[in-house]
Amino acid sequence: MTQAAVLAQLGNTPLGMRNRIINGAMEIDQRNAGASVTVSGNSYYLDRYQSYATVASKMSIQQNAGSVTPPDGYTNYLGVTSLSAYSLSASDQFRLQQKIEGYNIADLGFGTANAKTFTLSFWVRSSLTGTFGGAFNNSGYLRSYPFTYTINSANTWEKKTITVAGDTSGTWNTTNGQGLIINFGLGIGSDNLGTAGSWTTNTYISATGATSVVGTSGATWYITGVQLEVGSVATEFERRPFGMELMLCQRYYEKSYDIDTAIGASTYTGAAVYGGGTTGSTASFIGSTNTDFKVHKRATPTIVWYDMVGNSNKIQRWQLGVHNTDNQTVTTVRNSQTGIGAYSGSGTSASGLFAHWTASAEL
């Protein structure tokens, strides 16, 4: 494609928001602050990236796992390491995914005759070679597009590009629910494998013939520079300011801890402080000051409270400026897309409360 054609394509997308993927350069890891986590069930790891495993403890995920040099121009990547040589059953699923909010893909026109072509690009590196797979899905997994890509050389960063004609069928969410889901298969059983290259009504998570990363003990699979954009050309990776990328992540997940502090750490830094009072013989500890979120949430979030030493759903009282060690049960109040408050209804007289918190509005 000529430079003029590429510029014309870019002209159809607002500058600064070509990439529909959030945290594509794997810079932000609010939950674990770079620590390795063994995957179990369905959980989020680096911001906006969710992993699903039908069997626990078969792989780990870590920002910059293995400490290899990222591709030129990048400083971070997401790394998956296989923890055993696991033989897949037909129903097994080991995968990494990002769910794109419906508002952010509404202009692609999926489910209509005007559905737009889109392109996914990313850098990948693995200790294994061969055919790897994944799939694009709608929110109900009633529309699937399996895809493949080839890793040619072991332990070498390679850039991959996948261009797809938008789906003209099916029902696609265009509001604040799950819009387009991108799955990278890391070991998918035969029940959820399909022929690559077309939209289907089957629930496919990856493509037939794809390599199973969890099938080889110690195997690694690393990814960064993930971009999804309108059109048939993979343009240069869109680099947004770190603060902007963090705010995009915080629409779905926010915490009181500093950005590089893991959840549940023993620290007062960043904790919410609530004024308190006493009613009758029991301290009522009413939060006289609410906490406003930095970013308006996608939906009313799920709140988890932590005391100063990492106990969940606890809150720490303080009295006359002195931190007390007794930790009280906590009740969330004024939980909304914009902020929260808290109180504890047990204990002795106190003049306030300390608490850390997380707020999750993930898709």
pLDDT tens across 236-284, in order?
999 999 999 999 999 999 999 999 999 999 998 999 877 655 544 444 4
Tokens at 94, concatenated: 């080991």
Question: At 5, is the pLDDT very low, low, confident or very high (cuts 50, 70, 90)?
Answer: very low
What pLDDT, in 10s, does the model give residues 182-201? 999 999 999 999 999 999 99
Q: Which residue has the higher pLDDT, 319 or 247?
A: 247
What residue type is assigned to position 170 of the chain?
G
Q: Is 256 left (phi over 0), alpha (psi -120 to 50) or beta?
A: alpha
Question: At 72, is the pLDDT very low, low, confident or very high (cuts 50, 70, 90)?
Answer: very high
pLDDT at 284: 44
Question: At 342, is the pLDDT very low, low, confident or very high (cuts 50, 70, 90)?
Answer: confident
Between CA 61 and CA 63 the distance in angstroms is 7
> Global pTM?
0.92
CATH T-level assignment (fold) for domain 3-250: Jelly Rolls (2.60.120)
Tokens at 109, concatenated: 């026109």
pLDDT at 283: 46
Q: Domain limits of the chain?
A: 3-250, 272-360
Give the length of the chain.
Answer: 363
Find how far residue 246's CA is from the centre of its chain: 12
pLDDT at 348: 52
Q: Which residue has the higher pLDDT, 10 or 67?
A: 67
Between CA 22 and CA 358 the distance in angstroms is 19
pLDDT at 157: 99
pLDDT at 281: 43
Question: H or E segment at 282?
Answer: strand 282-283
Question: H or E segment at 247?
Answer: helix 242-250
